[in-house]
A and B are shown apart, each in its own frame.
Chain A
């Protein structure tokens, strides 16, 4: 190792097996055709990709807010991994939305230069987390639902959506395991963690109904073999949640379903004040610098 070039040392250690240091990164969309398949409405495909992309983007944002605040350093790593996975899904989906739209926009135009009413994620994604129990409760519901949806999308007639789903399913399977284990640990752990976990489940429960609310875009695309109908994932989500709740020793929450009763849904652009806060933070730098290059 020569000190004449400080960087030489970085390449001096070619014996990578010692560190099990990996290579061989792959592009999940390599070789996937990007034309909108015949018989598919491009506007519907755009809207659907925005829905799924915004879900991931906003949920990832909430996870990013936990960076430097996690209960333990190992969980910093885990939460950042989940946030990165969801951010990656968001980028692929927003890029697909922009392709299908064909208006010359890109992932960054969609993420940073849309107003709140143009976002299409479910409200569950934008909720702030009062504590770690609230985070893992919301994460469990979100990734369980998303896993069920993406699992169905692996057979989508849109090859890009199918490829994104195939990649996402692997990621979400791990996310669900992480969230479920924490719900069980906190439900079972101490009197205080049980109380907090129970309160968190109670708080997230009313947001679940919205996930399955029928919507014309996915329902039309489902008939074209592209999407999963909004209501389709319900049975699997209910089954997983009751299994986890039982393992955690938590009673099924009794809070009423707020999804259909509060006069609007995220899928139609009806959001809470939490989104304004998120967008002010997320879009502030990008919008303050018109013409900026990053």
Chain B
């Protein structure tokens, strides 16, 4: 596309903490000239309905993600480590608090 127009402002990813005790969760993205403006815009766009107590913004081009093609190499090896889970171990019902 030779006539492509890029947006004037970079893209930011937005994370919102809904209430104390919860993680920040990715909610979407927005455009802003700088980080400070991005936080303001995130407040106005993603917390209009009392949705948050804290906001993170990250430049989208600063995010490094795993490759979908690496999914097996990354995540399959953890699938058979059943001994990491408490239900793997048989304890008689008569033994309390364990």
A residues with a Cβ closer than 8 A to B are 16-25, 72-74, 77-78, 81, 174, 177-178, 181, 185
A78, B33: Cβ atoms closer than 8 Å: no
Closest chain-A Cβ to B55's Cβ sits at a distance in Å of 10
Contact with A along B7-23 (1 / 0, CB 8 A): 00100000011100010
For this complex, 30 residue pairs linking A to B, each with C-beta atoms less than 8 Å apart, are A16-B18, A17-B22, A17-B25, A18-B25, A19-B25, A19-B27, A20-B18, A20-B25, A20-B47, A20-B51, A20-B52, A21-B49, A22-B18, A22-B47, A22-B49, A22-B50, A72-B31, A73-B31, A74-B30, A74-B31, A74-B32, A77-B41, A77-B45, A77-B48, A78-B40, A78-B41, A174-B43, A181-B36, A181-B40, A185-B33
B37 in complex: contacting residue of A25, A81, A181, CB < 8 Å: A181
Sample of 15 more A-B contacts, CB < 8 Å, known A77-B48, A177-B40, A181-B37: A16-B18, A17-B25, A18-B25, A19-B25, A19-B51, A20-B17, A20-B27, A22-B47, A22-B49, A22-B51, A72-B31, A74-B41, A78-B40, A78-B41, A181-B40
Residues of A contacting B45 in the complex (Cβ-Cβ under 8 angstroms)? 74, 77
Instruction: Verify if B67 is at the interface (C-beta below 8 Å from A).
Output: no
Residues of B contacting A185 in the complex (Cβ-Cβ under 8 angstroms)? 33
Closest chain-A Cβ to B97's Cβ sits at a distance in Å of 30
Task: Across the A-B interface, give the 9 residue pairs with the lowest CB-CB distance, nearest first.
Answer: A22-B50, A20-B18, A74-B41, A77-B44, A22-B51, A20-B51, A20-B16, A78-B44, A22-B49
Q: How far is the CA of A43 from the CA of B17 in the complex (A)?
A: 47
Q: How far is the CA of A22 from the CA of B30 in the complex (A)?
A: 20
Which residue on B lies nearest to A20, using beta carbons? B18
Closest chain-A Cβ to B60's Cβ sits at a distance in Å of 15
Which residue on B lies nearest to A84, using beta carbons? B48
Closest chain-B Cβ to A76's Cβ sits at a distance in Å of 9
Closest chain-A Cβ to B53's Cβ sits at a distance in Å of 9
Q: How far is the CA of A133 from the CA of B16 in the complex (A)?
A: 31
B residues with a Cβ closer than 8 A to A are 9, 16-18, 22, 25, 27, 30-33, 36-37, 40-41, 43-52
Q: How far is the CA of A17 from the CA of B24 in the complex (A)?
A: 10
Which residue on B lies nearest to A73, using beta carbons? B31
Q: How far is the CA of A72 from the CA of B32 in the complex (A)?
A: 9
Main DSSP-derived SS at the A contact region? helix
Q: How far is the CA of A169 from the CA of B82 in the complex (A)?
A: 56
Q: How far is the CA of A97 from the CA of B34 in the complex (A)?
A: 43
Q: How far is the CA of A21 from the CA of B46 in the complex (A)?
A: 9
Which residue on B lies nearest to A76, using beta carbons? B44
Which residue on A lies nearest to B43, using beta carbons? A174
Which residue on A lies nearest to B15, using beta carbons? A20
B18, A17: Cβ atoms closer than 8 Å: yes
Residues of A contacting B37 in the complex (Cβ-Cβ under 8 angstroms)? 181
Residues of A contacting B27 in the complex (Cβ-Cβ under 8 angstroms)? 19-20
Closest chain-B Cβ to A96's Cβ sits at a distance in Å of 25
Residues of A contacting B51 in the complex (Cβ-Cβ under 8 angstroms)? 19-22
Which residue on A lies nearest to B8, using beta carbons? A72
Which residue on A lies nearest to B30, using beta carbons? A74
Residues of B contacting A20 in the complex (Cβ-Cβ under 8 angstroms)? 16-18, 22, 25, 27, 46-47, 51-52
Residues of A contacting B52 in the complex (Cβ-Cβ under 8 angstroms)? 20, 22
Residues of A contacting B49 in the complex (Cβ-Cβ under 8 angstroms)? 21-22
Residues of B contacting A24 in the complex (Cβ-Cβ under 8 angstroms)? 50
Residues of B contacting A174 in the complex (Cβ-Cβ under 8 angstroms)? 43
Residues of B contacting A81 in the complex (Cβ-Cβ under 8 angstroms)? 44, 48
Which residue on B lies nearest to A77, using beta carbons? B44
Which residue on A lies nearest to B9, using beta carbons? A72
